[in-house]
Amino acid sequence: MSLYILSFENEYVLISVFGFVLILTGLFFKLGIAPFHFWVPDIYDGSPTFITYFFALIPKLAILFILYRAFAFILNPYYMIPYLSYIFIFLFSVCAILSLIFGSIGALYQTKIKRLLAFSAIANLGYILLGLCNLSVFGLFASIYYFFFIFFIYNSDFFNFIGYSALFVVC
């Protein structure tokens, strides 16, 4: 089975797979999914609270919808080579598990609240990606539910609390 995966019909298939991997790498970097997560705590810590709120929610919302469309492309047997979708699912699963590990362990010794929130976002994106790796509609709906009702509301409430507490400290 592994030899069948590596035997591509022509070089255009190999080039398209390589391009798709590069696109996914860029999306993972922008989302902050491990192993491309090293910029997230520094940006969350160094920027003002409202900019951090923007970086915590808006780009993740847009890129997660792009990833959902990518999964529709991966799972469609008319577009991809047989058994190649399992390689992409394996890569997504490895990145999700690494995000869970690095996000949870990195958050243990944080003293600044924004850096703690950044590592929490890395771990939460690992959970969202695990829902996508389920290869079913239920996993897709579970990851959408997790993003909107847990991740989105948690970050909104947290940043509203920080903004109001900073307003009372200034006044």
Total domains in the fold of the chain:
1
Q: Tell me what pLDDT residue 98 has.
A: 95
Which is nearest to 81 in space by CA: 10, 5, 15? 5
User: Which residues does 44 contact at the CB level (< 8 Å), separation at least 6?
Assistant: 52, 55, 56, 114, 115, 117, 118, 121
Q: What is the DSSP letter of 158?
A: H
pLDDT tens track, the chain, 171 positions:
444 545 556 666 677 778 888 888 998 998 899 899 899 999 988 988 878 888 888 888 888 888 888 777 766 666 666 666 777 788 889 999 999 999 999 999 999 988 988 998 899 899 988 888 877 778 888 888 888 887 777 777 676 666 555 545 555
Q: Tell me what pLDDT residue 75 has.
A: 66
Q: Tell me what pLDDT residue 85 has.
A: 72
The answer to whether residue 18 sits within a structural domain is no
Spatial distance between the Cα atoms of 105 and 54, rounded to a whole number of angstroms: 25
Q: Tell me what pLDDT residue 161 has.
A: 66
Domain that holds residue 56: 26-170
What is the Cβ-side half-sphere exposure of residue 154, based on CA atoms within 13 angstroms? 13
Q: Tell me what pLDDT residue 1 has.
A: 44
Phi, psi of 34 (to 5 degrees): -60, 145
The answer to whether residue 11 sits within a structural domain is no
The answer to whether residue 17 sits within a structural domain is no
Q: Tell me what pLDDT residue 89 has.
A: 81
Q: Tell me what pLDDT residue 2 has.
A: 47
